[in-house]
Chain A
Amino acid sequence: MTDRDLHLGVALAPAGHHPAAWRLTEDRTRLWNPGTYAAQAKTAAAARLDFIAVDDSFAPPSGLVRETQGTLDAVAISARVAPVAAGIGLLPTVTTTHTEPFHTSKAIATLDYVSSGRAGWEAKVSDTAAEADHFGRKAVAEPEELYAEAEDAVEVVARLWDSWEDDAVIRDLPTGRYIDRGRLHYIDFEGPHFSVKGPSITPRPPQGQPLVAVRADADAALGLAARRADIVRIAPGNPDAAHTRRAAVRRAVADAGRDPDRVAVLADLVVHLADTDAEARKGLEGLDRAAGRPWRPNAALFAGTPEALADLIGRWHRDGAADGFTILPAALPSDLDAFANRTVPILRESAGFRREYPGATLRDTFGLDRPANRYAGTVTR
């Protein structure tokens, strides 16, 4: 990563990230068909993008009847596309506030198995009362507490991944032992929000440690990102803001005793593409009219040609505003198709974007080694 390879992911959504994007899709009453996500994932994999990100939350639908509503579980979507979209990383969001870290750990480990080493997860907090009411177990907490809990969850998930050493299954006929129990480890985590004994029920995943992504727009999230993230997502409005935020993230990573060059800071970028700038802008205006309100996404919004987008991406990357981008297509599949088929080929020429995946795993894609097991050589009680 020290040579600052360009990283590009795409955030999937059933119809697109614009709330009225359903108007442009063909199969609009069947947006949750598996084929919808599989087609998007295949397009992204064919373009050799780093990953697909699938956002998630337990938040209720907005109730705005003109806008796309309904979300499926992000790990489920990622698992459903894993066998049909080869090579690409899978980065579902999993929230940490109301979920069980034990379940999260085995879910992502299993995603790593079904994808042969292409899994990661984005840890996100649930910060609304509506989500808390869906669970009815605790009140909504302050951001500092939510992120402290998230950090504990990330720690537990990571320990559970290591709770089996790679060679724990021995199938030793003379002694009748299937496993060497000395290579399985209790994690004995105790914290204010939960205690988890371990070991995992799932053996160590192919990557050892699947990647961890954290969104670090909020200052409360910066510590978690600095200490735990392999991928940091930011949503700056312009290159200057990106530059500033990336620098802050890198400083925080260094302060946490980690190498900033081993953490990719990726900017969200909403895109709507057309053959001319005017046409792209007109398209967005049409979607806004359909939604009955102007859409102000919480990230930089690009409406223009695929060629101009390549120019912008190359510039931000070159200038150190970001190590790459998570593309949020306003309309799917059209904006992803245009990005994959027209923008990406230009970036191969202009910004050295990859032609093939460097290896089989998502860690390979990000230039990260397979980590040693923290418990290797330690004695199981």
Chain B
Amino acid sequence: MTESFQNAQSSDRTRPRKQIHLGAHFPGVNNTTVWSDPDSGSQIEFSSFVHLAQTAERGLFDFFFLAEGLRLREHRGRIHDLDVVGRPDTFTVLNALAAVTDRLGLAGTVNTTFNEPYELARQFASLDHLSGGRAAWNAVTSPDAFTGENFRRGGYLERERRYERAAEIIAVARLLWDAWAPDAVEADPATGRFLREGAVEAFAYLGAQFDVSGTFNVPRSPQGHPVIFQAGDSDQGREFGASHADVIFSRHTEHADAKAFYADVKDRLGRHGREERDLLIMPGVSFVLGDTEAEARENAEEVRRKQVGPQTAIAFLEQVWGQDLSHLDPDGPVPEFDPETADVHITRGRVRHQQDQSSIAQRWKAIADAKELSIRELVIETTARLQLVGTPASVAAQIDDYVQGDAVDGFILVPHLTPGGLDRFVDEVVPILQERGSFRTEYTGTTLRDHLGLAPAPTKRGTPQ
């Protein structure tokens, strides 16, 4: 990241400094989250969520973010047991966090395949009311029958229909959020009317995925429409984000790649009648701090070793080779033999990259040969995701340069440790970002839309002033 940081100067020095947006990701159910550290706390007790949310609010973050997965991951036909596992219900935790925070946005992933729009629109409108306008929905599509085994609709969605369903569920949700006029509640003792006559409109929607009609029973919420996040990355996914989302939770973190993604998605906005400021690009990124650059690098290596323990290294290798490799020594060499069968996915319930396994195996073998790496060293090397590594000052500079260089609008920070993993960032990096004039020194608004600089949600009758 240091190299790209050199290249990341803002192209236009005359414009005002862009303001950085920051989200705090609750450590996830995967091997990024280090559980073997003595400072690793509970992954499920409410106190852990409170700690991270209150730390993020102390750091004036835009939002807290909670991911979701609706079936426990399996590896070789059994529940994967090496990573942190166990997570709460998104809505319930976010509503409870609304009680212990005042301004922090509350964002959560909720699946578009295994929820129905009336219920889901109601849950987000409720969260928005109960948090005073801080709700955000990361609308994630899921096609898989594996997860479907936990749900009524069972079955699954054909892959090509998942964006159709996501688009329709958001369309219905917006219809419902607009059903009550902003001034529907009159509550005037003089007229005796609680509701203004005709201020709640019935809805009817007929599409390929939904055939629903009736009347919404939740008054319009403070933000009108909660903020919508989206994470899709395919051409279809980018188009969906450009047309529907307020924030893209992106995977593009390497500087040039991030910049290309940023330009591509922002370019698409015009076609949907939207402006640059209507959509924020925020990649997820982890970070490791140290008092010196050398110490930070050492810390990062230590974190990587904890993330990829001996058993985890073998599990990753098995994923690529598609077979049981438990007899191999994780500190020994990478196997000479090829993956037994092409495209056998022995891990289920996690996001996969669309790449065929034998070519990954070839690439891994080449890297291991070239660098003389053991299995574990290889997995540490190949599964590394971009991290911000450095002193607080250099990490602040990296973040700022990404933002000023139009590679991102901000970052969703993913700590390694629950619940204290964000503490040092807030104490030491945030003040430097503030000194650079790139990050707020107080909340200036009350809603998440305010924090993100998004325009108020339009109503049926036009844009509110």
Binding site for B on A (CB under 8 A): 22-23, 28-29, 31-34, 37-38, 58-61, 63, 65-73, 75-77, 79-84, 98-100, 102-103, 106-107, 109-111, 113-114, 116, 130, 133-137, 164, 169, 171, 173, 175-181, 184, 193-199, 201-203, 290, 292, 380
Are A136 and B213 touching (Cβ within 8 A)? yes
B212 at the interface (CB under 8 A from A): yes
Residue of chain B at shortest CB distance from A205: B44
Count B-side interface residues using an 8 Å CB cutoff. 75
Q: Is the pair A110, B214 in contact by a Cβ cutoff of 8 Å? A: no
Q: Apart from A107-B92, A135-B119, A171-B35, what 8 extra A-B contacts exist at CB < 8 Å?
A: A34-B130, A68-B194, A70-B217, A130-B215, A134-B118, A135-B118, A176-B311, A196-B150
- A176 surroundings in chain B (CB, below 8 A): 82, 309-312
Bound CA–CA A370/B25 (angstroms): 34
The 5 A-B residue pairs with the shortest CB-CB distance, nearest first, are A176-B311, A60-B215, A79-B95, A114-B96, A110-B92
Can you list 25 A-B pairs, Cβ within 8 angstroms, ordered by A?
Answer: A31-B187, A33-B132, A58-B119, A65-B194, A69-B200, A69-B219, A71-B217, A72-B126, A73-B126, A77-B95, A82-B96, A83-B99, A98-B119, A106-B92, A107-B89, A109-B89, A116-B46, A133-B213, A136-B211, A169-B86, A184-B79, A196-B150, A197-B149, A201-B69, A201-B86
Contact B126 A76, beta carbon cutoff 8 Å? yes
Q: List B residues 407-436 near A (Cβ within 8 Å).
A: none
Q: Which residues of A contact B312 (CB under 8 A)?
A: 176
B84, closest chain A residue (CB): A178
The answer to whether A29 and B72 touch across the interface, beta carbons within 8 angstroms, is no
Once bound together, how far apart are the Cα atoms of A171 and B81, in whole Å? 10
Q: Is the CB of A58 within 8 A of B118?
A: yes
Is B100 part of the binding interface, using a Cβ–Cβ cutoff of 8 Å? yes
CA distance A98 to B116 in the complex (A): 9
Q: Distance (Å) between the CB of A33 and the closest chain B CB?
A: 7
Contact between A99 and B119, CB atoms less than 8 A apart: yes
Do A81 and B99 touch (CB < 8 A)?
Answer: yes
Q: Is the CB of B218 within 8 A of A72?
A: yes
**Is the CB–CB distance between A173 and B36 below 8 Å?**
yes
Bound-complex Cα distance A69 to B86 (A): 38
Closest residue to A92 on the B side, CB-wise? Answer: B92
CB interface residues, B 110-166, toward A, < 8 Å:
114-116, 118-119, 122-123, 125-127, 129-132, 149-152, 154
Interface residues of B in 69-116 (CB under 8 A from A): 69-72, 78-79, 81-89, 91-93, 95-96, 98-100, 114-116
B152 and A194 contacting across the interface, CB-CB below 8 Å: yes
Given contacts A72-B126, A102-B70, contact A203 B86 (CB under 8 A): yes
By a CB distance below 8 angstroms, the chain B residues around A68 are 194
Is residue B235 contacting chain A, with contact meaning CB distance below 8 A?
no
* A72-B129, A99-B119, A178-B83 given; A63·B150 CB < 8 A: no
Q: Chain B residues with Cβ under 8 A from A83's Cβ?
A: 46, 50, 96, 99-100
Q: Mark B46-85, 1 if CB is under 8 A from A, else 0.
A: 1000100000000000000000011110000011011111
The answer to whether B88 touches A110, judged by C-beta atoms less than 8 angstroms apart, is yes
Q: Which residues of B contact A73 (CB under 8 A)?
A: 91, 122-123, 126
With both chains docked as a complex, state the minimum distance between the C-beta of A27 and any C-beta of chain B, in angstroms. 9
Instruction: Determine which of B88, B129, B309 lies in contact with A202 in the assembled complex, contact meaning CB atoms within 8 Å.
Output: B88
Alpha-carbon gap, A110 to B150, bound state (A): 18
Which residues in chain B, 166-214, are within 8 Å of chain A measured between CB atoms? 180, 185-187, 189, 192-197, 200, 210-214
Residues of B within 8 A of A113 (CB): 44-46, 88
B87:A201 contact, CB within 8 angstroms: yes
Contact A114 B93 (CB under 8 A): yes
- Chain B CB within 10 Å, residue with most, of A69, A75, A164: A69
Are B218's CB and A71's CB within 8 A?
Answer: yes
Complex contacts, A61 vs chain B, CB 8 Å: 195, 200, 215, 217
Docked-complex contact B44 and A77, CB < 8 angstroms: no
The residues of B that contact A107 with a CB separation of less than 8 Å are 89, 91-92
Partner pick for B116 among A81, A135, A194, CB 8 A cutoff:
A135
Find B187's partner among A28, A79, A99 (CB 8 Å cutoff): A28
Complex formed: what's the CA distance from A111 to B89 in Å? 9
Measured CB to CB, the closest approach of chain A to B90, in angstroms, equals 9
B126 touches A77 (CB 8 A): yes
Give the CA-CA distance A202 to B218 in the complex, in Å: 28
Q: Is the CB of B44 within 8 A of A203?
A: yes
Most buried by A among B72, B118, B132, B180: B72
A114, A116, A137, A169 — most chain B CB neighbours (10 Å) = A114
Q: Which residues of B contact A164 (CB under 8 A)?
A: 86
A198 engages B150 (CB within 8 Å): yes
Taking a contact as CB atoms under 8 Å apart, the answer to whether A32 and B129 are in contact is yes
Q: Give complex CA distance A135, B172 in Å.
A: 11
Question: A69, B150: Cβ atoms under 8 Å?
Answer: no
Q: Please determine whether A32 and B219 come into contact, CB atoms closer than 8 angstroms.
A: yes
> Contact between B194 and A136 (Cβ–Cβ < 8 Å)?
no
Please give the distance in Å from A92's CB to the nearest CB on chain B: 10
Q: Closest approach, in angstroms, between the C-beta of A181 and any C-beta of chain B?
A: 4
List of A residues within 8 angstroms of B185 by Cβ: 29, 31, 70
Known: A72-B129, A73-B122. A66 touches B89 (CB 8 A): no
Say whether B152 contacts A22, CB under 8 Å.
no
Q: Which of A70, A84, A179, A198 contacts B218 (CB 8 A)?
A: A70
Q: Please, which residues of chain A bring their CB within 8 A of the CB of B192?
A: 66, 290, 292
Given contacts A176-B309, A194-B152, whether A76 and B123 have CB atoms under 8 Å apart is yes
A111 touches B197 (CB 8 A): no
Q: Are B152 and A181 in contact (CB under 8 A)?
A: no
State the Cβ distance, A329 to closest chain B Cβ, in Å: 18
